[in-house]
Amino acid sequence: MSVLPSRKAEVPQAPPGVMVIFGASGDLAKRKLFPALYHLMTDGLLSKHFRIIVVERRDRDAAAYRDYIDTTARPFISKDISADLWQELLQRIHYLNGDLNDADTYKRMSTMLDEIESSHHTGGNCLFYLATPPDTFGEIATQLHAAGLATEHGDQWRHLVVEKPFGRDLASARALNNTLQAAFHEDQIYRIDHYLGKETVQNILMYRFANSTVEPIWNHRYIDHMQITVAESIGVESRGGYYDQTGALRDMVPNHLLALLSTVTMEPANSLDGNAVRDEQAKILRAIQPILPEQVLTQVVRGQYGESTLTSGKTAIAYRDEERVAPDSATETFVAMKLLIDSWRWAGVPFYLRTGKRMPGRYTEIVVQFKQAPNMMFRDSLLRREQVPPNTLVLRIQPNEGIGMSFNAKVPSPIPQISPVEMDFSYSDYFGDGPTTGYETLLYECMNSDPTLFKRADVIETGWELVEPILDVWHALPPRNFPNYAAGTWGPRAAEDLIAQDGRAWRPCKVCSID
């Protein structure tokens, strides 16, 4: 696994190649891809023989596209942008106008790639990036294969990068995987989950397996439970049409939340080889106890936000009033669930997952709560006579990436008193707050043919197998109480009850403020 280290360390450049971007006028290209490429260039990680082809149906040329991306991508790049480097990146753009369903487009692409290889020495390496709607993934892959563009010769590589969603249920995910694998070998397919590009997610493996004080207690003997929260303060904004056909469960659980869960619970791999790590992640996902249809109503909670006045005084409209959302929509904007893993390491440890829109803040964290220490020795010295507070470890994914640990210490006083205190590690304080989109590492890994941070077909399908019973029950029993939580709150009361019935509570957010 070739992780991007501190900017002060020497990192080898990515090899020469061409990045072909399908859907280059979309939000992803301007918000993530071009800023990430610029940041890689500023770090000296892009080869001087790296080039970009953008593929569109629009009738314009390379100069017009350069003007477009110059205007739209700049706001998403660090303020101290180097005009010279940015212009150098823009000059590497080539333009191909064509219909993605037309074989002629791919014939002309093949010719353009040959010309670029001849003039810029790209080595025949090519990264095909599908920043397009998911219903085009199969067609593009099939057309690339038919044009001979998926074939690798000698040491060159041809990689297909696919953005989520990877299907909308188990059947469609399998069908998509079959189509992609008919065009490209599995080891050529890179399914992106941008959460895996975040430093804290990558650091979970380093923290767990490179510290002798951590791994021995990372099991059911010492850990009481874990919580994974992915909260968004915004609503669906302009994505109402897509979201109303998807919902929080499909949008977040089979990919983002299960990716975090598998990373924090997997067994140690024999090496950081991509397949070795992904083998262990696949094993842990297969060890999750299936949620039976009769368990859905007790182990899973769904919610939809309603209108509310936020703490800032602004009014947040209800989900059903959002643009391109059905006025009687039964689509969930919140989901919480309890999962159990049937393994020796995690026997009896519950994992509580929740995600939602229009919550009190935007943050993602993993909370590891350890079992309580015995009270007997301290029964006369506790503040307010409560139990000894359990130790907690918090892995912050966003916005302030880092790791926090709470433990108990003596309060300065003539009499013995205990109070929880916190230690905190922040990436920005220790390593500096360099510009990042989360895609820099993913693109760099893809160019270096390292699949560690990308989803494999079996992992995708296992995730859908887990949520399929939930989708079936929800389809058969539409919600009767939507909307059931006010915008700007922590979801429906049933989510609190889900964890409270086990004698536990969600950890309060310490970084939340909604506007």
**Residue ranges covered by each domain of the chain:** 17-163, 197-500
Structure tokens at 368: 């590891």
Catalytic residue among 39, 145, 194, 256: 256
pLDDT at residue 175 tops 70: yes
Which of 313, 261, 256 is CA-nearest to residue 285? 261
Amino acid at 40: L
**Residue 4 — pLDDT band, cuts 50, 70, 90?**
very low
H-helix or E-strand spanning residue 444: helix 439-447
Tell me which of 22-26, 66-70, 216-220, 437-441 is least confident: 437-441
Summarised one tens digit per residue, pLDDT across range 187-218 is 999 999 887 777 777 788 888 888 898 999 99
**Mean per-residue pLDDT, 426-433:** 72
Instruction: Show Cβ contacts of residue 95 under 8 Å, excluding neighbours closer than 6 positions.
Output: 53, 54, 56, 60, 61, 62, 64, 65
Per-residue pLDDT at 381 = 57
Per-residue pLDDT at 376 = 57
**Mean per-residue pLDDT, 510-515:** 55
Class of the 197-500 domain?
A: alpha beta
Helix (H, G, I), strand (E, B) or coil at 132: coil
H-helix or E-strand spanning residue 140: helix 137-146
Helix (H, G, I), strand (E, B) or coil at 395: strand
pLDDT at residue 442 tops 60: yes
Per-residue pLDDT at 202 = 77
Judge whether 277 and 1 are in contact, CB under 8 Å: yes
**Mean per-residue pLDDT, 226-252:** 91
Q: How far is CA 201 from the centre of its chain?
A: 9
**Residue 71 — pLDDT band, cuts 50, 70, 90?**
very high
Per-residue pLDDT at 392 = 93
pLDDT at residue 9 tops 60: no
Judge whether 285 and 262 are in contact, CB under 8 Å: yes
Give the Å distances, CA to CA, from 358 to 265, 361, 385, 514: 29, 8, 37, 9
What distance, in Å, lies between the first and last C-alpha atoms of the chain? 39
Per-residue pLDDT at 312 = 76
Rounded CA gap, 305 and 472, in Å? 22
Rounded CA gap, 29 and 25, in Å? 7
Task: Name the more confident of 509 and 446.
Answer: 446
Q: Look at the block and give the residue holding tokens 């999962």.
A: 339
pLDDT at residue 279 tops 60: yes
Tell me the whole-structure pTM to 2 decimals: 0.90
Helix (H, G, I), strand (E, B) or coil at 82: coil
Tell me which of 8-22, 277-291, 324-338 is least confident: 8-22
Instruction: Show Cβ contacts of residue 362 under 8 Å, excluding neighbours closer than 6 positions.
Output: 231, 232, 233, 234, 398, 399
Per-residue pLDDT at 207 = 87
**225 is an active site residue:** no
pLDDT at residue 257 tops 80: yes
Total residues found in the chain within this entry? 515
Structure tokens at 375: 């009270």
pLDDT at residue 380 tops 90: no
Helix (H, G, I), strand (E, B) or coil at 135: helix
Amino acid at 47: S
Per-residue pLDDT at 389 = 79
Rounded CA gap, 201 and 285, in Å? 17
Instruction: Show Cβ contacts of residue 144 under 8 Å, excluding neighbours closer than 6 positions.
Output: 106, 128, 150, 160, 183, 184
Rounded CA gap, 301 and 338, in Å? 9
487 DSSP assignment: T
Summarised one tens digit per residue, pLDDT across range 341-360 is 999 999 999 999 999 999 99
Judge whether 376 and 231 are in contact, CB under 8 Å: no
pLDDT at residue 515 tops 70: no
Summarised one tens digit per residue, pLDDT across range 465-502 is 999 999 999 999 999 999 999 999 999 999 999 999 99
Assigned fold of 17-163: Rossmann fold (3.40.50)
Judge whether 2 and 34 are in contact, CB under 8 Å: no
**Helix-helix angle 274-286:457-476, to 10 degrees:** 30
Can you spell out the DSSP letters for 413-433? SSS--EEEEEEEEEHHHHH--
Per-residue pLDDT at 410 = 77
Per-residue pLDDT at 10 = 76
